[in-house]
Amino acid sequence: MAIMILAVVLVPIGDALSKSMTAVLGPFEIAFWRFALQMLILGLVLLVLRQRLERGSPLLLLLGGLTSASVLVALIGAFAVMPIATAIAIFSWSR
């Protein structure tokens, strides 16, 4: 429950920061830095939970990472040309 509350608070902040950065950086650069920060946080979580996690298929993990990256770049590109609420509504509806 605490992780969900944290996500509900942090995700909109990340989206707002991404939109504000589209004035000076491209969508690929913003997505890169978001993923770098997420990788750092996930790395810390993996260190703590490494005994409890099972290994997944490397091919499926790669495919999941690539699709996640492409969706994030498209979403940040949408932030550059439309309001955040509209972009998030389209993104949420298309899932």
Cα gap 12→24, rounded to integer Å:
20
Evaluate if pTM is beyond 0.75.
no
76 close to 88: Cβ distance less than 8 angstroms: no
DSSP per residue, 60-89: HHHHHHHHHHHHHHHHHHHHHHS-HHHHHH
Identify the residue whose tokens are 């991404």: 18
Residue 29 has pLDDT above 90, yes or no: yes
Token couple for 74: 């498209």
22 close to 76: Cβ distance less than 8 angstroms: yes
Give residue 5's pLDDT.
92
pLDDT digits (tens, 9 = 90+) for 30-83: 999 988 988 898 888 878 877 666 666 778 778 888 888 888 898 889 988 999
User: Which has more pLDDT, 85 or 46?
Assistant: 85
Cα gap 88→75, rounded to integer Å:
8
Give residue 24's pLDDT.
92
Q: Is 39 helix (H, G, I), strand (E, B) or coil?
A: helix
